[in-house]
Amino acid sequence: MQPDSAWAYLLPWEFYPAVVLFCGGLAWLYIRGWRRCRHSARPAGYAALVSFLTGLGLVYLVMHTYLDYLAQHMFWIHRVQHLVLHHLGPFLMLLAGPWEVLRAGLPVSARARWLPALARNRPLRLLYRGVQYPLVAPLLFVGLIYFWLLPEVHFGAMLSATRYQLMNWSMLLDGLLFWWLIFDSRPASAVGRLGYGGRIVILSLVVPPQILIGAHMALATESLYPVYNVCGRAWPISPLTDQQIGGLVTWIPSSMMSVLAMLVLLRRWMREREGAPLRQGSVS
Amino acid sequence: MKRVVWPLVLALVLAACGDAPSPARLRDIGALLPPLTFTLHDGEARTRRAADFAGQVVVLYFGYTHCPDICPTTLARLAGLVRRLGAAAARVSILFVSVDPARDTPAVLHAYAEAFGPRVVALSGSQEQLGALARRYRVSYGLGPADGDGQYEVSHSSAVFIFDPRGRARLLATAEDSDADLLAGIQGLLAAGGNERWDGAR
């Protein structure tokens, strides 16, 4: 089941309108907003543009190309897919501090009516506050990784198309929420902004559980996820090798993202202390 | 907060595992895979559709006739088990879907199916038809590199999917499941009433 031409690798394995709407919509909003902000008092730089679009592009690639097929039939590629959906993609998107730019990209009517209405919506605000509560956010972040890796749950997610979609979207949305909290680029005076110290604590809290589950998979001597045997792997590879690589992907790069984020935060923290105002949409 | 979250996680886990009671110890896939739907051709080059098997328990297996070991042993085992059902065997069809249509022409399919007895139907189709079926049941297959004689290996899923007479996906068996479990699974599906409807594609 291989595409016959190089281009065909970029075609969606299964066509999901939601992915096209999500990625296309955000790209359109961001580029529009970025150009509008270009000559404003607080323009977003090229670095922010590249960071946001790279993150978004990576999310699209793992969800809507041949990689989606490979992720369904090779455990370690599934782990790479989740590394992008939960860590790398949202990390790069939120690193760009995209909210002002995205807001500027919205049509005026939406900015004037929908946004304030959304911000005033009480259940939505409560829900948002709940999931972004400093103790809940890391628990949700790690909990989702563990949940979808429970062997029984994983089996169902890999067999049922609906559950597979649910799994990938839950990882992406939680990734966006988590890195939104971490890279909150509003000024220190903003209501509800979590301090840098708190964010660094959260980042360090999520590392050990990820190392633990990654090591558990990398060092296991038996196959934990037989679903890939049942459905067939994308190419011949021993189940244990597949699982070991998958474990390493969960173990090392995922934890590294926390360290990288801490470095970014430390730098922002020092700048803020020195009194230099953060440039809108600044990447570092 | 943990007090709230963990019961929630547990509830989700239970919801994911605890679907309708399974008639046997095979894995219950009732909530996971869609009803039987395909368009393929058989050993007489006739078009066969899933609805042709309405009212039958369908045992679906992917393979190819040049397969050295797994396919013939699996098919022989399945055919032997179905034979043990006696008269009820007439209500079970074992569908062997070859993912290697280049070598498995209708004539080859016909001879191959015949070797395993009357309950085995060998099918194949165009790449699009096979791809659609494989995608639907989330199985993968691939052709290995050809040797000097143009022969090649084919990697394919080892799963045996079992559908009830309504065409609903119900059980998943693998090589590790015992004969007793497989037989009990098929018998359970045959015994369940209310099978007049057909849930798959027409």
Alpha-carbon gap: B95 to the closest alpha carbon of chain A (Å): 17
Q: Which option is the CATH number for B7-192: 3.40.190.10, 3.40.630.10, 3.20.20.70, 3.40.30.10?
A: 3.40.30.10
Nearest CA in chain B to A2: B142
CB A209 within 8 A of CB A146: yes
- CB < 8 Å to B157, chain A: 230-232
Residue B18's pLDDT band, with cuts at 50, 70 and 90, is very low
> What pLDDT digit, counting tens, does each position of A27-67 carry?
999 999 999 998 888 788 999 999 999 999 999 999 999 99
pLDDT at A279: 55
Nearest CA in chain B to A144: B9
pLDDT at A269: 92
pLDDT at B6: 55
Using a CB–CB cutoff of 8 Å, tell me whether A7 touches chain B. Answer: no
Using a CB–CB cutoff of 8 Å, tell me whether A158 touches chain B. Answer: yes
Do A232 and B135 lie within an 8 Å CB cutoff? Answer: no
Alpha-carbon gap: B53 to the closest alpha carbon of chain A (Å): 23
Nearest-angstrom CA–CA distance, B189 and A219? 40
Alpha-carbon gap: B33 to the closest alpha carbon of chain A (Å): 6
> What pLDDT digit, counting tens, does each position of B151-198 carry?
888 878 889 999 999 999 999 998 889 999 999 999 999 988 656 788
Report, as an integer, the average pLDDT of A120-139. 92
Alpha-carbon gap: A124 to the closest alpha carbon of chain B (Å): 19
Structural domain boundaries in chain B: 7-192
The model carries a pTM of 0.87
- CB < 8 Å to A228, chain B: none
The CA R_g of chain B, rounded to the nearest whole Å, is 18
Query: Best mutation site among A67, A159, A170 for testing chain B: the one with the most B CBs within 10 Å?
Result: A159
Do A72 and B31 lie within an 8 Å CB cutoff? Answer: no
By three-state DSSP, how is residue B74 classified? helix
Report, as an integer, the average pLDDT of A146-164. 96
Nearest-angstrom CA–CA distance, B33 and B157? 15
Cite the beta strand spans of chain A per DSSP E.
none
- Among A8, A234, A162, which Cα is nearest to B139's? A234
Report, as an integer, the average pLDDT of B132-141. 91
Do B155 and A135 lie within an 8 Å CB cutoff? Answer: no
- Chain centre to alpha carbon of residue B137: 9
Neighbours of A96 (CB within 10 A): 28
> Residue B4 pLDDT > 60, yes or no?
no
Do B31 and A156 lie within an 8 Å CB cutoff? Answer: yes
> Residue A280 pLDDT > 70, yes or no?
no
Q: Average per-residue pLDDT in chain A?
A: 92
> What pLDDT digit, counting tens, does each position of B38-75 carry?
999 999 999 999 999 999 999 999 999 998 888 899 99
> Residues with Cβ < 8 Å from B102, sequence gap 6 or more?
none
Using a CB–CB cutoff of 8 Å, tell me whether A153 touches chain B. Answer: yes
Bigger pLDDT: B202 vs B152: B152
> If DSSP states are collapsed to H, E and C, what string results for B91-137?
HEEEEEEECCCCCCCHHHHHHHHHHCCCCEEEEECCHHHHHHHHHHC
- CB < 8 Å to B31, chain A: 156, 160
pLDDT at B168: 94
pLDDT at B21: 47
Nearest CA in chain B to A232: B157
> If DSSP states are collapsed to H, E and C, what string results for A39-105?
CCCCCCCHHHHHHHHHHHHHHHHHHHCHHHHHHHHCHHHHHHHHHHHHHHHHHHHHHCCCHHHHHHH
Alpha-carbon gap: A75 to the closest alpha carbon of chain B (Å): 13
pLDDT at A189: 83
> Residue A186 pLDDT > 80, yes or no?
yes
> Residue A134 pLDDT > 80, yes or no?
yes
- Among B7, B119, B113, B101, which Cα is nearest to B53's? B119
User: Structure tokens of A247?
Assistant: 């474990």
Q: Could you say which of A2, A231, A236 has the minimum Cβ distance to residue B157?
A: A231
DSSP run (H or E) holding A166: helix A161-182
Phi, psi of A223 (to 5 degrees): -75, 120
Q: Which of A214-218, A275-279, B94-98, B164-168 has the lowest mean pLDDT?
A: A275-279
pLDDT at B7: 56
> Residue B22 pLDDT > 50, yes or no?
no
Nearest CA in chain A to B14: A153
> Residue A278 pLDDT > 60, yes or no?
no
Report, as an integer, the average pLDDT of A198-206. 96
Do B32 and A133 lie within an 8 Å CB cutoff? Answer: no
> Residues with Cβ < 8 Å from B62, sequence gap 6 or more?
B97, B99, B134, B139, B141, B156, B157, B159
For a pLDDT cut of 70, what percent of chain B falls above it?
Answer: 87
pLDDT at B24: 47
